[in-house]
Amino acid sequence: MNPLNLEEFMKIENVEVRDIAKEFGTPVYVYSLEILRHSIGEIKQLAPVTRYAMKASSNVRILKEMLDNGVKIDAVSVFEVQRALRAGFSTNDICFTSDVFFDDSDVKFCLENNIYCNCGTLGMVEEYGKAFKAKGAGSPKISIRINPGEGAGHSKKTNTGGPYSKHGIWHQNLDEVKRLAKEYGLTISGVHTHIGSGGDMEHLKRITGKLVEFAKQFEKIETVNFGGGLPYQYDPDKPQEDIAGYKTILEERAKLLKDHFGRDIVCEIEPGRRFVAGCGYLIGEVRSHNHTFDEDGKRIDYVLTNVGFCHLLRPMAYGSFHPIWFDGNDLGPEQDLIVAGPVCESGDVLTQKDEEPVARRLPMPKPRDCIVIGGAGAYGHVMSSNYNSQPLIPEIVVDGNQCTQTRSRQTLDDILRKETK
């Protein structure tokens, strides 16, 4: 499903891209609620409990849509926990997953507010246990994140399992978890694993089986969280990854758990990217052209835009593919183009592969034409920065023919307000 209308005047749902650029300026993030709602409906039917990994996009309007549709929250910092609470979620809706408490106030907050903690290291289990014992308050129930010994992902940097991942308690250390739980009066009521972002269904099938076996080691288990990592295809010319079969896999896992424990165990998943990647677009403006010649005398053409890695980090950080369209009158013929941004770094290139700049076959735009970058809903605005003193850009939601700003454009005064000479 793609709400981007590629007619004469490019539209997101029923709103013209040029009108959005004119009203809100560029660069600007735009989220289609039509595609978000479609994704929520697709994912919610997979498991009895669905959480949203809000690190993918913590925009308040997106959180509201999750809340309205009965999706719960996976938060990876206490700041995310607090943001979710302010968005209207209850403490019972939120699971805090981390490898550490950022400081002493984190564990205090979790205990005082009965935030369910999913601990990814033995040290975090022990810190929670010591604080729980000393305070005499809070819940004794915790979950543990297990590193199953293998991982997967679209990049080594998004692989969160195996011996070279910092995430999760190593699967051979579960007896130590039991010892710590007994020492501090804790109950291991949940187990969890997440092997990486952008894996494939074969990995997910194998890892869910492993997690069932790990769960059997804890007799008071109530919840098994199979993590996220649902695959997502960024290239609109290729078929979207089919995830419907994951429901059958999870139903099989739930039956194995019930057969072992003699009771129903709550099975959860926590996708992030698959929920929101497709609903987001980043609109910018073409500013200039440039060209060079390689050692063989071949011309290399660049299209320079006002969208840089301070706005969308993924191409530079991971070599990620994002679809690109230009919206303008009288676009030139298709040719090999490298599309880049304004940041003072050679790596500020939007068309990359294997973390290297590559040309892409695109129509030649003119300065002041719009550039539209797709697949920008996940790990887009949330990973942006003030590098080069660039202000953070606004976020807009489109619902049919309605366009609403949910975050205003930051100014230099906003940036400097917290600084002193």
Residue 75, pLDDT above cutoff 80: yes
The pLDDT assigned to 196 comes to 63
Beta strands in 218-260, from DSSP E residues, in sequence order: 223-225
What are the CA-CA distances from residue 307 to residues 21, 114, 390 (Å)?
A: 13, 42, 11
Tracing tokens 């109950």 back to the chain, one arrives at 187
Query: Which residues, other chains included, contact 79 with Cβ-Cβ below 8 Å and sequence gap of 6+?
Result: none
Is residue 279 within 8 Å of residue 66, measured between CB atoms? no
Instruction: Give the H or E element holding residue 359.
Output: none
Percentage of the chain exceeding pLDDT 90: 86
139 burial via Cβ count (<10 Å: 0-12, 13-18, 19+) = middle
> Which pLDDT value is given to residue 37?
98
- Mean pLDDT score of the chain, rounded to an integer? 93
pLDDT of the residue at 199: 63
The three-class DSSP label of residue 197 is: coil
Supply the residues annotated as catalytic: 344
Rounded Cα gap, residues 100 and 118, in angstroms: 10
Q: Indicate the range of 151-155, 243-247, 370-374, 406-410 predicted with least confidence.
A: 151-155
Average of per-residue pLDDT across 383-409: 97
pLDDT of residue 125: 98
| pLDDT tens figures, 107-124 | 999 999 999 999 999 999
What integer is the mean pLDDT of 54-66? 98
Residue 212: the pLDDT is 96
Tens-place pLDDT, residues 121-148: 999 999 999 999 998 888 999 999 999 8
DSSP code for 332: -
Once rounded to an integer, what is the mean pLDDT over residues 287-296?
97
| 367 Cβ contact partners less than 8 Å away, ≥ 6 residues apart | 286, 287, 288, 289
Bridge partners (DSSP) listed for residue 223: 190, 266
Q: What share of the chain is helix, strand, coil (3-state, %, to 5)?
A: 35, 25, 40
* Confidence at 3, pLDDT banded by 50, 70, 90: low
Pairwise CA distance, residues 89 & 91, whole Å? 7
Least confident of 149-158, 211-220, 229-238: 149-158
Q: How far apart are the first and last CA of the chain?
A: 51
DSSP letter for each residue of 81-113: HHHHHHTT--GGGEEEEESS-SSHHHHHHHHHT
Domains of the chain with CATH codes: 4-29+277-416 (2.40.37.10), 46-271 (3.20.20.10)
**Segment 257-274 mean pLDDT:** 97
Distance CA 243, CA 103 (A): 38
What 8-state DSSP symbol labels residue 149? S
pLDDT of the residue at 152: 59
Of 100, 141, 94, 145, whose CA–CA distance to 118 is shortest?
Answer: 145
